[in-house]
Amino acid sequence: MANIRDLKKDINYVLGDIIETVYIWEVAADKANASEGQAIIDEAIQVFDELMAKVNDRSVEDKKAHLKSVRIELEEKATALVEKVNQLS
C-alpha cells in the first residue's frame, strides 16, 4: 500500500509544482490571470483528476503493472506541461 500512497504524493507534488511555477511566472511577468497560464493550470488539474481516478481504480487485475503505467503517464504528461511552461513569454 505504500506504493499507492507514494504515487498519489508524487502526482500531487509534481502537478502542484507545475501550477506554482505558472503562478510565479504570472507574478514575475505582471500577467495576472493570463489566458496562457490559466490554460496550463486547467490542464494540470485535469491531468491530476485523471491520474488519481486511475490510481483509485480497484477493478484492475494486475495492480503492479497498472500503477507502473500510471507513473509512466505522470512522467509523460508532466514533461509536456513543463515544456508548455517553458514556452510562456
State how many domains the chain has.
1
Determine the 3-state secondary structure of 34 from DSSP. coil
Rounded Cα–Cα distance for residues 44 and 81 (Å): 7
**Segments forming the whole domain that contains residue 61:** 2-86
- The pTM assigned to this predicted structure is 0.90
Taking only the tens place, the pLDDT of each residue in 41-80 is: 999 999 999 999 999 999 999 999 999 999 999 999 999 9
78-87 per-position pLDDT tens digit: 999 999 999 9
Phi and psi, residue 33, nearest 5°: 60, 35
Residue 88 C-alpha cell reads as 510562456
